[in-house]
Structure formats: structure tokens, C-alpha cells
Amino acid sequence: MKVVIIGGVAGGATAAARIRRLDEQAEIVVFERSGFISYANCGLPYYIGGTIELEDELTLQTPESFWKRFRVKMNVHHEVTSIHPDSKTVTVKNLENGIVFTEKYDKLILSPGAKPIKPGFDGVDSNRIFTIRTVEDTLKIKKYTEEKHPKSAVVVGGGFIGIEMAENLRNLGIDVTLVEAAEQLMAPFDRDMVSFIHAEIRRNGIALMLSHFVEGFADTDCGIDVMLKDAPVLHTDMVVMAIGVAPETTLAQKAGLELGIKSSIVVNDKMETSVPDIYAVGDAVQIKNFVTDTDTLLSLAGPANKQGRIAADNICGGDSHYTGGQGSSIIKIFDMTAAATGINERTAKAMGIAVDKVILSPMSHAGYYPGGKLMTMKVLFEKDSYRILGAQIVGFDGVDKRIDVLATAVRAGMKAYELAELDLAYAPPYSSAKDPVNMAGYIIENIKNGVVKQWYYEEDEMLPRDGSVTLLDTRTQMEFSMGHAEGFINIPVDELRESIGKLDKGKPVYIICQSGLRSYIAGRILTGNGFDTYNFAGGYRFYDAVYNDKALNKKSTPCGMDN
């Protein structure tokens, strides 16, 4: 059996290695257009910023090492220009010497990945404008920063790559402005949760321009101008375009394969395309969202690796199936960590899913053990069924551990209230006896059992301030004096029982505290005394972060640049 693989990196290289492990006799040939067949794609921005010091550390395998271990023919700088399903051949061009030849296959795997989106703006071909997708892109940016010593940079796009590039350029001492057309960064996160991400970016000196559209570029004698819609021109030394990627499916389209969303390759759960003996994996394929069972695209290394393995299994006579992706992801933002899994609230509502949520601010480990850090967790679940839809966490220590537990719970089909039953490891340096994931489960269990009712940030503006409801802040007087929501009165929770006579039982009580715990306790006290109570999801810390972020976004301007 001869297997030809188009494209290396996560999907293609994984498939090649897996086929060899399953079939020692198979002939495996890989054609990779770039000069690298297996590299740390997600580490590229950190090489530019200097966290990864050596270029060699980006390369996971070379053609020589792959041949030595797996006896796989890895051909770099070879571009497949066409596929001929009828004759089971591909046409290949050697990019080093221009020679064109034909290669036969019994089975073919497409792993072409995705290409950076680069709109046809005026001036977009300037040599001061960069994209980052390959090692070659990375080396080009690295060389520019070392030779030209830019003092300022504009990064266009607020997704994973855009934020990572902004951070790493800032770490080089460059003044960075991050421009995003949407009203928030990081689309997998909800607008409220991303407030903490915005704050961390601003705290580290990056100018954040949200809801700003780039319209074109123009080289100048001393840099490049970035033209924005309804905003002043940005004068800068370099631009990084990171507005997303699109499936690289030119070959598939020419070969007559069925295409789906954004011209992605349609595959079944065995990674088979619409053409016999042709498989496809990675960023170029359309998959199923595990949570919603709808078609989607997912440009992440983990799914690409899994798909490469599944395609290899099936080529070698196995029966492996890809059950879909849920978009589990994580990002470092200076000292902060943000992670998500499943769908967000915005997506759930757009799909007509009856969604509910809990928001909490637990410590990363036991409060009495030094070094604990607060995190903010948002867990989404379907009303009535309590199916977990997704989760988002923003914090510092321990975020990765909790998102992985929640991602596993989603995959296992757990009910949201069953999170309370998870038996998770505990020692003071690592967690609390009630782990944050357990705490989310306890809150959801209370909602299910009618012990607590919640109110949310988006309801704040609709709450009447005319005295028809009671707005109660149960923090200490000092906390209250340092900032509070409009119209709230202050009765500390430990003084509440003695002050119940001051409150009208005929009015619903909307309660808030710093994190949600004291307001919950206050709610139980008042409910036990005949009041109708609602506890704020997230606490005043969450309320304040969202409120301040919205205010700052209205007056966002670039820093370190002339306007």
C-alpha cells in the first residue's frame, strides 16, 4: 500500500507516524510546501518575543529524523499542484529546482491546513505588513524586529494569534496598538468574561481599539499608515495581520471534492472525503461541534492530531471515528490565563438554546496557604436538562486544571449539578476541599433545588431604582464606600438579622456582595424570614470589571503613536 500525504505539521505528520506504527510495509510519502514538516505552530509568537530562544526549538521533527525513525519520505519545498482521482495520481512541483513530476497513490490524505486571511486592502502588500502562520513567517518577523528595531506596531485582529503577537512585541519594548473590528477580543469568550482579558492587556501597556475597522495601508518615508473607518490614521513602524484563517482547499476544489463551510472539505466521521480513497484532516476540514451537533470549523492542533490518527487507523483497516470537537482552548495573556470549552452564552442564545449560567470567583487553592489567586469561572448549562454547554475561566493559577475537568465533564455528558460529586485531588497548595469545579456544581444544585434564584449583570439597567424593589449590598461599609452599584443600600451580612425590620417583605430583594458568597448567605437569611430574594451571579468584583471595561471601550485610543 502506498499512501501519499499532502501537508505535514499536526495532521499530516501524525497520520504518517501512525500509519507506520500500524503497517511496517506501507510506503508513505509526504509533500510539504514549506521547509518544515513538523513544527511548534503555537510557539511561533514566543520565538519572536524571545521566550523561546533558539530557532531549532521550533522544529519537532526534520525530514532526516522522520526517515530515521519511521522510514517516511518527507519532501519539503514540494508543492502538489493537482490531484487526479481517476488515475490516483498527484502532480508535484519541486520548488527548489522547478521540476514537475507525477506520484501515484493507493490512499491519499489531505492536510493542507489553513491560510491567513489577508483582505485586498490598498497597500496590503507592503513589506512592513506581516502575517504569521509558518516558521518562515516567524523568521521574517524576527529578522525585521532585530534589524529595523521598530518602536511601534499595530496588530490587526484580537484572536489567539493577535493577542500572542501583541504580547510578544510588547515584551520587546515595542509600543503596540491592538485593533479589532468586533466589540471584544477572543470570540470564544462572552463579552462579560472578556472584560478581564481587556483589563490585563491594558494593564501591560497595549492600546486597545475595539469596534474599529481597518480600511487600508500606505507606506510612508518613516513607516506605514493604517487607515481606519471613522477614526484617525495610525502611524506605525510595522503591522501584523491576524484577523483569522481560511481553509486552504484549492486542491480539493479542483479535484471535485465536496466542500462545505467557507469552502472547507466535507468529511465523514472516518475522515473520508466524498471521493473514494481520499481522506482529509486538520484546519481544512468541516467537522461536527460536539455540543450542538452542527457543522463547524476548528483551527486547533489537538483536533488535527486526533483526525490524523483516525484517518491513519481507517486506512490501515481499522474502524476509528471522530466524534466532533468542542473547541477546548487556552491562552496566556502576560501573567493571566484564559481558557474555554464548549459553546458560549452568545452562541447558545443565537441557536435558540435555553441557557442558564453560574459565575463565581473562587481562589486557585486554599485561602490560608500563601499565593492563592482569584479566578473567575462561568459555567453554562441548558435549562431543565442541566446539560453542560460550556465553560470559560479567566485567572492566573489553576485555570488549566479546571477547564480540563470541565471539558471532560462536557465530553462525558455529565449534568451540571453532578459537578458537585466529582472527587478531585486536594492539598492546600493546589486546591481547596471544595474545589472551584465542585463549587460551580453546588451553586447549580441549589438552583435546581430552588434554594437560590439569580440575577445577572445584563439585568442591572432594567432594575427599577424607584423603591419598588430592594437593592441590597451585603459587603462591609469600607468595601461599599470604595465603589458600589447605583441605588444599592449597604447592610453587611453579619448585621443583617438585626436590620431585617428595616426591609419591606413585600418587595423582592436583589442582593450583591464581592464574590457571591455573602450575598448567598444573606439571601438564605432573608428567604428564611419570608423575603423573595435574588443573588447576583459573579459578585461586585465581576460587576465592576464589566462596567469599567464598557466605559473604557467607549473612549479607546492608541498610545505611543501620533494621531
Catalytic residues: 42
Strands 376-382 and 355-360: antiparallel
Rounded CA-CA distance 360/376 in Å is 6
Contacts of 77 (CB under 8 A, 6+ apart): 32, 33, 34, 35, 94, 95, 96
DSSP code of 299?
A: -
Rounded CA-CA distance 490/476 in Å is 8
- CB atoms near residue 153 (< 10 Å): 28
Q: Are the beta carbons of 314 and 270 closer than 8 angstroms? A: yes
- Residue where the block lists cell 486552504: 248
- Phi, psi (5° rounding) for residue 89? -135, 160
- Nearest alpha-carbon partner for 431 in 494, 363, 351, 499: 363
Q: In which element (H, E) is residue 307 found?
A: helix 301-315
- Residues belonging to the chain: 563
Rounded CA-CA distance 541/473 in Å is 12
Collapsing DSSP to helix, strand or coil, 165 comes out as helix
- CB atoms near residue 425 (< 10 Å): 8
Rounded CA-CA distance 82/103 in Å is 11
Angle at 337 between CA 334 and CA 338, to 5 degrees: 125
Contacts of 221 (CB under 8 A, 6+ apart): none
